[in-house]
Amino acid sequence: MYEKETTIINKTGLHARPASEFTKLASQYESEILIKNLNTGKEGNAKSIIAVMSMCMSKGTQVTIAAKGNDQEEAVDELVALIDSGFEDIDL
């Protein structure tokens, strides 16, 4: 298992388009990937748009991204980089 902690910095949090981009990226990896809202303790499948959106992750929410599998490090690093970018490359 490989994991990293980060903070949601984009103004809309992980809702709608950012959540869609996040789950689309997560789905590209073979590893099992979980996202945990450290403010509430809720945890869900990072490849599920329903799970991600139901976790109510707004700006400032601390999260842990954890993965287990052959590409776990790449998956976690890329997902954390997406969050840390503030989803700059998508039209919010």
What is the reported pLDDT for 91?
54
In the numeric block, which tokens belong to residue 55?
């976790």
For residue 39, what is the domain's CATH number?
A: 3.30.1340.10
What local confidence, expressed as pLDDT, does residue 89 receive? 63
The single-letter DSSP state of residue 75 is H
Q: What is the pLDDT along the chain (92 residues), one digit of tens a residue?
A: 999 999 999 988 998 899 999 999 999 999 999 999 999 999 999 999 999 999 999 999 999 999 999 999 999 999 999 999 998 766 54
Confidence (pTM): 0.93
Q: How many domains does the chain have?
A: 1
- Residue 42 in domain: yes
pLDDT of residue 90: 60
At 13 the pLDDT is 92
Strand ranges, E, within 2-88: 2-7, 32-37, 43-45, 62-68
Residues annotated as catalytic are 15
State the amino acid at position 11 in one-letter form: K
Domain boundaries, position 54: 2-84
Instruction: Count other Cβ atoms within 10 Å, centred on residue 70.
Output: 11
Give the helix/strand (H/E) hosting 35. Answer: strand 32-37
Closest CA to 66 of 12, 9, 11, 6: 6
